[in-house]
Chains A and B, each alone.
Chain A
Amino acid sequence: MGRMKIIPDAKKKELQQILEISGENVKDCMQCGKCTAGCPASSSMDILPHQVIRLLQLGQLDKVANSQTIWSCASCFTCTTRCPRNIDLAKLMEAVRLTIIRSKGSSRLKADDVPGKIDPKMPQQAIVSGFRKYNK
């Protein structure tokens, strides 16, 4: 294991974006691990929920972005309800996912393509959130 290089400000812009999207402050966390202890999906995670926050606190955004964990998170909000520091970890996970989705490639959904893709059974909300995720 190599020595971790901590450069908290290296990814400041990206980190700031994540904190803005989620509206959460990772500094509130005091690493009690209650999120991990209660997480039903923790067995399939390579880094544990409380480590996600710790890595974000340390500015190690790449480790979080490249992890399996953010895709294993089921957004069940167990961590959110139980966190004694009022941090919405589920939101933070979603924010990390969003930054990845947004940055990869160009717009994968154009407004002109939408009419052809509409399924009458599809809820409107899904279209909106699809736009949010796949359109830059």
Chain B
Amino acid sequence: MQRIGVFVCWCGTNIAGTVDIDQVKQAAEKIPGVVNVQDYQYMCSEVGQNLIKNAIKEQKLDRVVIASCSPRMHEATFRKAAKSAGLNPYLVEIANIREQCSWVHKNKEEATEKAIALVRAAVAKATLNTELVPGEIGVEPRALEIGGGIAGIQTALDIAEAGYKVDIIEKTPSIGGKMAQIDKTFPTLDCSACILTPKMVDASTHPNINLYTYSEVEAVQGYVGNFEVTIRQKARSVNADKCTGCGICTDKCPSKKAESEFDEGLRKRGAIYIPFPQAVPNVPVIDREECLKFKTGKCGLCERVCPSGAIEFNQEDTLVTQKYGAIVVATGYDLINLDKFGEYPYTEHPDVITSLEFERLTSAAGPTAGKFLRPSNGNKPKKVVFVQCVGSRDKSSRGKTYCSKICCMYTAKHAMLIKEKYPEIEVYVFYIDVRTPGKNFDEFQRRAVEEYGVNYIKGMVGKVFPEGDKLQVHGVDALSSETLIIDADMVVLAAATKAKDDAQELGRKLSISTDANNFFTEAHPKLRPVETHSAGIYLAGACQGPKDIPETVAQSSAAAAKAIGLLNKGKLVNNPCVSQVDEQICSGCLACTKMCPYEAISSQVIEVKEQGKIVKKTVAHVNEALCQGCGGCTVTCRAGALDLKGFMNRQILAEVDAICL
């Protein structure tokens, strides 16, 4: 027989005001197994806790039931007290007679009766409680960063500085991301490359950071602290160790038809190319779709001119598997496709460009060396029209319902950049609303209007007609209700931002969710903005939603702090209330494996003795590190072989019985 101690708390008058403590005590004493019943004004106080500790030691109690407030309040307190008295903390049971009894009932008789029933149920459960010991799992002291843009670089640098190893996986041949393509940054107009490239170099030279460029995530297995990630390193066709980055091969390559991804198609590149001069690593890659050697078998010029013999046409994709404790996802964003916006002839007319193309056109390292010229004829434009909200805040199937957040600011920046270089160019900005919350943001936008003379027009452009060598822009000024026609030379479209097309696929590999717009969902929009619902996986940057650079960097450092916090623990304690399999009963149907939301149940083959012979048998196996203890599998199991520790079938049934007495 168990030796159970029952401790009834008065909670001042909170409980004692509505519940007759003496009656509860008398009833408790009569329950079989109960050997000690005490009461106190405040059981959670130090005196109260000492009362419990002493009783455990003196009365040799092996179960403790505390009738007090909600377990959500003080279960941890009482478990700790029991532990310090040498009792396994999971042998403590709480009867919630405050929140769920004395506070909601006024009739003293009824409340007392209910309190007794709740104590009875808690004793019934406690009788069947078993000692539980939480398991420990190790944490691999290494982090993975998916995406090598500013978000990925910042997170990696922060984690590396804290002393942990970080690997960055970048899909393209160089890290840098969208920020590398940008000319100037708002609201300070400082040069984007000047602040980014030193960070890129830091990342590549940091002893704790390892780059996997031109690589993708192939598969992810494991769980928090112990992820196992398979990385596909796509064949570069260039040996990165031998290559010195001299650039002879890229100069000599006879195929120059491919459009440069970095310059948004405004410049051609060779089949063997370095994406941009400051690329990290500064190693070329062969585009096998374009390369003559791969297409026709003839050529191989790059191989002949390479002074270090680094060209390797027969290179193949390699798969690397690596263990990680934490993963940070920072895959960034793209601009939406404008093919369906027929009213703005983006696909037909070279002078209609996107904002990202504009960045390349004004960049000193861009295709025009920073001279702002019309792509169609190389002349300097006289009138430039900017159209905001192209596809943003758009409920139709062509666009995105959300605000892309960054366009108002970069459009003001673009307008200013034009006016600064060429004050004589007329600049018009069509907007629906100008949204500039942020430090020095509104001042910046107003400067464009007040100092630089940019014409802001509230209204939209209905249609852009190419006419002669001009673009006739039909718009409206909604404030004066006048329709306008502007003979523009160039039209710049602020295309909406969108999540990466493969975000969902990556989300599936990582078991993290995406929202209706394919942005990754954070665990809580306010209180857990950089965590995901999967423990050990964090989010940084625009893959979680549209963001500007300062916000991205802030979120990246936050994600890094979370990852460092996890890696720093070294060991994780898991919840001991996990599922367990009775291998004798398990029939091996494995219905539980399909139900488990954490994929914590797998199959295993065991040897059992059956009629004197040893036979092999397939049974379910619970990974205690993965199991979160929901108990759903216990109901799925037809044989009843699964049970949840801490909430066993017989414990809950005992509670039901006790309540129904």
Direct contact of A and B (CB under 8 A): yes
Which A residues contact B (CB, under 8 angstroms)? 28, 30-39, 42-43, 47-48, 50-51, 78, 82-86
Stretch in B244-252, B376-384, B456-464, B579-587 with 4+ CB within 8 Å of A = B456-464
Decide if A85 touches B478 in the complex (CB within 8 Å): no
Closest to A42 in B: B483
The answer to whether B478 touches A36, judged by C-beta atoms less than 8 angstroms apart, is yes
Instruction: Chain A residues near B461: list those with CB within 8 A.
Output: 34, 37
Would you give 5 A-B contacts (Cβ < 8 Å), ordered by A? A34-B476, A36-B476, A37-B475, A39-B462, A50-B476
Closest to A87 in B: B395
Q: Find A31's partner among B389, B395, B478 (CB 8 Å cutoff).
A: B478
A33/B395 contact (C-beta < 8 A), A38-B343, A51-B481 known: no
Cβ contact within 8 Å between A32 and B343: no
B432 interface residue per 8 A CB criterion: yes
Interface status of B394 (Cβ within 8 A of chain A):
yes
Cβ-defined contact, A30 with B432, below 8 A: yes
Closest 6 pairs (CB-CB, A-B): A38-B462, A37-B462, A34-B460, A33-B459, A84-B394, A33-B478
* Contact across chains for B393 and A84 when beta carbons are under 8 A apart: yes
Q: Which residue of A lies closest to B343 (CB)?
A: A82
Question: Contacts A30-B432, A84-B399 known; A37 to B394 CB distance under 8 Å?
Answer: no
1/0 per position for B393-413, CB-CB distance to A under 8 A?
A: 111100100000000000000
**Shortest CB–CB separation between residue A109 and chain B, in angstroms?**
38
What distance in Å separates the Cβ of B601 from its nearest Cβ neighbour in chain A? 46
B residues near A82, Cβ cutoff 8 Å: 343, 462
Residues of chain B in range 477-516 having any CB-CB distance to chain A below 8 Å: 477-478, 481, 483
Q: Which residues of B contact A37 (CB under 8 A)?
A: 459-463, 474-476, 483
Determine if B433 is an interface residue (Cβ-Cβ < 8 Å): yes
| Max chain A C-beta neighbours (<10 A), residue from B399, B433, B458, B474 | B474
| B399 cross-chain contacts in A, Cβ below 8 A | 84
B389 contacts which of A43, A48, A84 (Cβ < 8 Å)? A84
- Closest Cβ of chain B to A87, distance in Å, is 9
Q: CA A121 – CA B474 in complex, angstroms?
A: 41
Question: In the bound complex, how far is the Cα of B485 from the Cα of A39, in angstroms?
Answer: 13
Residues of the B chain whose Cβ atoms lie less than 8 Å from the Cβ of A31: 432, 478
Compute how far the CA of A44 lies from the CA of B169 in the bound complex, rounded to whole angstroms: 59
Residues of B within 8 A of A38 (CB): 343, 462-463, 474
Interchain CA distance A32-B391 in the complex, whole Å: 13
Q: How far is the CB of A73 from chain B (nearest CB, A)?
A: 15
What is the bound-complex CA distance between A84 and B261, given in angstroms? 29
Chain B contacts of A50 at CB under 8 A? 476, 478, 481
Closest approach, in angstroms, between the C-beta of A4 and any C-beta of chain B? 14
State which of B432, B463, B474, B481 has its C-beta within 8 Å of the C-beta of A32: B432
17 extra interface residue pairs, beta carbon distance < 8 Å, beyond A84-B396, A85-B394: A28-B395, A30-B393, A31-B432, A33-B460, A34-B459, A36-B459, A36-B462, A36-B481, A36-B483, A37-B483, A43-B483, A48-B481, A48-B483, A84-B389, A84-B391, A85-B393, A85-B396
Interface string of B364-396 (1 = CB under 8 A from A): 000000000000000000000000010101111
* Cross-chain contact B478 with A84 (CB below 8 angstroms): no
Contact surface of B with A, Cβ cutoff 8 Å = 343, 389, 391, 393-396, 399, 432-433, 458-463, 474-478, 481, 483
Taking a contact as CB atoms under 8 Å apart, the answer to whether B395 and A84 are in contact is yes
A22 CB → nearest B CB, Å: 16
Which chain A residue lies CB-closest to B482?
A48
Which of A48, A51, A84, A85 is the most central at the interface, judged by chain B CB atoms within 10 Å of its CB? A84
Q: Nearest residue in B to A80 (C-beta to C-beta)?
A: B396
State in angstroms the CA–CA spacing of A30 and B403 once bound together: 13
Interface contact B462-A30, CB-CB below 8 Å: no
| Measured CA separation A27–B264 after assembly (Å) | 38
Report the bound CA distance from A132 to B337 in whole Å.
43
Asked if residues A83 and B396 are in contact (CB atoms below 8 Å), the reply is yes
Q: Which B residues are CB-close (under 8 A) to A36? A: 459, 462, 476, 478, 481, 483
Partner of A34, one of B391, B462, B477, B481: B462
B residues near A85, Cβ cutoff 8 Å: 393-396
Residues of chain A with a CB closer than 8 A to B432's CB:
30-32
Query: How distant is the Cα of A47 from the Cα of B460 in the complex, in angstroms?
Result: 17
- Chain A, residue nearest B477 (CB): A33
CA distance A85 to B322 in the complex (A): 47
B478 and chain A: residue at smallest CB distance = A33
Q: Which residue of A lies closest to B396 (CB)?
A: A86
**Which residues of chain B come closer than 8 Å to A42, judged between CB atoms?**
483
Nearest-neighbor residue (CB-CB) of A39 within chain B: B462
Task: Report how far A34 CA is from B393 CA in the complex, Å.
Answer: 13
Smallest beta-carbon distance B385→chain A, Å = 12
Q: Which residues of B contact A39 (CB under 8 A)?
A: 462
Shortest CB-to-CB span from B477 to chain A, Å, is 8
User: In the complex, which residue of chain B has the Cβ closest to the Cβ of A85?
Assistant: B395
**A84 vs B341: C-alpha distance when bound (angstroms):** 11
Q: B399 to nearest A CB, angstroms?
A: 6
User: CA–CA, A47 to B483, complex, Å?
Assistant: 11
CB neighbours (8 Å) of B481 from chain A are 36, 47-48, 50-51
Determine if B393 and A33 form an interchain contact, defined as CB atoms under 8 angstroms apart: no
| Residues of A contacting B475 in the complex (Cβ-Cβ under 8 angstroms) | 33, 37
CA distance A51 to B459 in the complex (A): 12
CB of B198, distance to nearest CB on chain A (Å): 41
Cα-based distance from A31 to B477 in the complex (angstroms): 11
Q: CA separation between A95 and B32, bound complex, in Å?
A: 79
Closest Cβ–Cβ distance, residue A1 to chain B (whole Å): 13
